[in-house]
């Protein structure tokens, strides 16, 4: 599993593959995770049955694909020489160089790839242009184009795609002409071992704090 975030802490939508990893480990699967981590966040959370290789998520904001991602991929390639894999699950644009590896060496490494898509970068770029939104030069010329390129490459190697919503799936299918039978929507869930439904008293207190009526 290649994922750009891992607790603690985390940001964005990385809790989805984290929760999936925990669930698969409980079923007895052995999983190796190559992940980003935040500087000064302390040790990454360990899960029984899961081997974690972590790397500083970003040495500088917006430069993940120019720093952490290639370093992670080099470490992955070294690990791959001595390990057998059943399936690759790649989350987001962090897999840019992994996709290049699969395009070049796919004739040798036939392990299937699942691409996990939490946002369609090309659709976001087009919407920002349509709305005439101001975008930083870093995002406009480095971060977003590289992220778009990563998703384009994923369409060349992935056997299946997991989307966090129907909207993201429809955008991706429309822009990249991906076959519908390859596309699955798995919305972000809730770990019921950590989160419980609030009591009636808690609900009342929440409404008071948020100034929301009961209707």
pTM of the model: 0.86
For a pLDDT cut of 90, what percent of the chain falls above it?
Answer: 57
Task: Tell me the pLDDT tens digit for each residue of 133-161.
Answer: 888 888 888 889 999 999 999 999 999 99
Least confident of 43-57, 90-104, 107-121: 43-57
Q: What pLDDT score does 197 carry?
A: 82
Task: Tell me the pLDDT tens digit for each residue of 153-201.
Answer: 999 999 999 999 999 999 999 999 999 999 999 987 777 777 778 888 8
Secondary structure in 3-state letters for 10-52? CCCCCHHHHHHHHHHHHCCCCEEEEEEECCCCCCCCCCCCEEE
Give kind and range of the element (H or E) at residue 2: strand 2-3
Packed helices 68-80 and 96-105: angle between N→C axes, nearest 10 degrees: 40
Secondary structure in 3-state letters for 173-206? HHHHCCCHHHEEECCCCCCCCCCCCCCHHHHHHH
What average pLDDT is seen over the chain? 89
């Amino acid at each position: 599993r290649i994922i750009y975030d891992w607790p603690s802490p985390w940001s964005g939508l990385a809790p989805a593959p984290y929760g999936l990893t925990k669930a698969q480990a409980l079923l007895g699967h052995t999983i190796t995770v190559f992940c980003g981590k935040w500087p000064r966040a302390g040790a990454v959370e360990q899960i029984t049955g899961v081997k974690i290789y972590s790397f500083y998520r970003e040495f500088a904001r917006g430069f993940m694909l120019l720093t952490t991602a290639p370093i992670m991929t080099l470490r992955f390639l070294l690990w791959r020489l001595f390990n057998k894999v059943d399936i690759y699950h790649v989350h987001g644009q962090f897999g840019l160089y992994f996709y290049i590896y699969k395009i070049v060496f796919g004739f040798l490494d036939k392990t299937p790839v699942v691409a996990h898509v939490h946002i369609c970068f090309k659709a976001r770029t087009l919407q920002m242009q349509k709305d005439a939104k101001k975008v930083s030069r870093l995002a406009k010329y480095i971060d977003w184009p590289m992220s778009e390129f990563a998703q384009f490459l994923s369409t060349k190697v992935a056997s299946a795609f997991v989307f966090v919503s129907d909207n993201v799936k429809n955008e991706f299918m429309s822009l990249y002409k991906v076959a519908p039978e390859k596309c699955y929507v798995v919305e972000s869930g809730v770990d019921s071992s950590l989160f419980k439904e609030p009591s009636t008293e808690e609900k009342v207190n929440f409404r008071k704090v948020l100034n929301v009526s009961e209707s």
